[in-house]
Structure 1
């Protein structure tokens, strides 16, 4: 490939998705060794190739692929890039152990947690299937054997033309890393699904696996860490590029506080199961992604004795 630029610059590549805010973004760090930060979803291949072409590239020209977290809308086109070329792939170290998880063990834990949550049989089977399929799908699109560099929290790593830090920001996804770096003289954060300007990302952490009990604490810890990051610009996976990380952190912290207060109020109003709380939170929206957030919020409040719970016939019921 003929070098297009001798200095690094960032191009935003944006693709449509069906959930708010209606798009997902990855970023091409242009320069002598092109870096792709996250890799869109599997069904974005055609539009991804067109977006690269707008900047004079094709997938085989990518020298480095840097992943923030292993959700399908951020790793979906890694196989396309690997097939087209020979990039160096970087990913959070926690993903390696996560992808080694025995699907049968995951299924057993999610089934137990979903049973305790009181899901009807059809919803229970859907939750179990989603968890196992997500593990298998995400590891297929980010094959661990193709990852060249596993980045530990706190690492400093040279990725082509840029040197990145690694801030562990769990809560939305347990292994999520955001990467502060300097590009063209600016301090920037390659943020993934944290530091999003329009809204707080949902608390999914590890879904309905056992880590849901620590998910809210993890998210608060992530916000504490981001509060200490000093950057001029944020490049998030959803929403616009922006320059006010600290305002977003403050907004997200208040949003978590409000969610916990709201869940406690729902329990006081008589909503006594995970499903009931999730449906009340969702209203006329899709409840799917609010189920892990509701389960995590209830576990958090229960652990702190702000609500109580008891098992009856294998189902956990909550009371104020």
Structure 2
């Protein structure tokens, strides 16, 4: 196991930011940690990295108990924070050199690692640029290079694609996949559910300081009963036909909103049977769409739809 967090509690005055928080990350995972604003994601990461003290609980990384003095553990971790953390008086090359040099003292090896990091994030043409001369996407890529240049075994990405263009975003996601294929274990937080669904082999949804549910994307959809659905607009159907639709094998649930239906199904055969039934009985409707549930649907189902942001 790469990370194990047991029964973690963290209090900010009257706010309990982490409430019996537990987390297990296996070696080789891309682990997605998602939650609403103020759910405790950033607090959890800062506790794992020993950037914050906490009231109670235990954190183990590489099977060692983590604390602020464990420099041997820190040397094997890369952290890419949400807020870009580079030195604005240093150019691209010197920034990567500085952060890599915190862990790699051998100058020859460090130079090799810097060049590999620059190649990896494709900043060769910008190596002498100061950060203020870089676009938002290039700055994010520099932030990543600074966090990974020392070849960490565990890399924590906290919202790495905020406010970047689609091309840079795609490059960052591909890079994270590549880092994982090369052996790094990844923790990834994001508000973009499609990114987490694309990247992560395991996902936890956190709210109010503790994990609500953990699993693969498919398992989470199954957990909340979100199968594929058939959405039918402006359908003319009476109660008898509705009862018969409900009895079609593979139909889990039918939701009616005025003249629109949303039919949750267990499999593709059920969709075929529904369409055949509608046609056979000459039931009139305007349009029919098949919808596959997303991680975003799961997230809203579990955490609710209200806006909230208390900053933790």
Query: What TM-score do the two structures reach when normalised by structure 2?
Result: 0.26
RCO higher in structure (CA 8 A, sep ≥6) = 2
Larger Rg: 2
Query: What TM-score do the two structures reach when normalised by structure 1?
Result: 0.25
Higher helix share: 1
Higher strand share: 2
